[in-house]
Amino acid sequence: MRLVLVGPPGAGKGTQAEFVAAHLAVPKISTGDIFRANVAASTPLGVKAKQYMDAGQLVPDEVTINMVRDRLAEPDAADGFLLDGFPRTTPQAVALDKLLAEFGTGLDVVLELVVDDDEVIRRLSGRRTCHGCGRIWHVEYDPPQREGVCDRCGGKLFQREDDRAETVAERLRVYARDTAPLVDYYGAQGKLVGIDATGPVEDVTTRAIDALRSYGG
């Protein structure tokens, strides 16, 4: 099965991508992993991407798409894959369709993790990170025994800038502007399957697998 996972920040895409890919026995491919691998190996695309990243600029679609092309051409992706973090925009989705057509194939399904904005803000703004060991706690879902103190190492907990409510709200606005249109794009192709991504991780995974099974996965 060839699928894409979409959803807002805080929907649990990274976690669900791992579980769903393992269930389907296909590689999980994220743009973050692709970037790191290319930069670490100093490939021509990696060198080019690093120039943009070092300058604090977005890596152009052309570079990203070529990295994705190289990764999808590897043997382990021949019989299927799960893409996490790509495409992020409709132009990238169009480019991915063209790329897969070159390979003589196409996407089977796009799985959307559906979470409302209030839940996303609650999830992300409640996270606290330990200065000492890096362990992440949550003030509501996974609180330490002593407020502001890590159970594991006794380190002080802090809220990352990315987890502040106003920052999360801005990330959601960017998602609504740039990535949410993918739902309409893939819905028009009849490839979109949405699931409720609230509740325990295991329940969400079960819903995802059941939805894919019903779809034909």
Digit-coded pLDDT (tens) for 23-48: 999 999 998 899 999 999 999 999 99
What per-residue confidence (pLDDT) applies to 121?
95
- Catalytically active residues are 13, 88, 127, 160, 171
Task: Record the tokens describing residue 91, joined without a space.
Answer: 């132009």
Secondary structure of residue 154 in the 3-state scheme: coil
pLDDT at 167: 94
The reported pLDDT for the residue numbered 216 is 64
Give the model's pLDDT for residue 177. 94
State the pLDDT at residue 58: 85
In the numeric block, the tokens 């973050």 are attached to 32
Which CATH fold topology does 2-26+79-215 show?
Rossmann fold (3.40.50)
Task: Indicate the pTM of the whole model.
Answer: 0.89
Token pair in block for residue 168: 């999360």
Cα torsion for 53, 58, 62, 64, to the nearest 10°?
A: 60
Question: How far, in whole angstroms, is CA 149 from its chain's centroid?
Answer: 30
In the predicted model, residues of the chain with pLDDT beneath 70 are 216-217
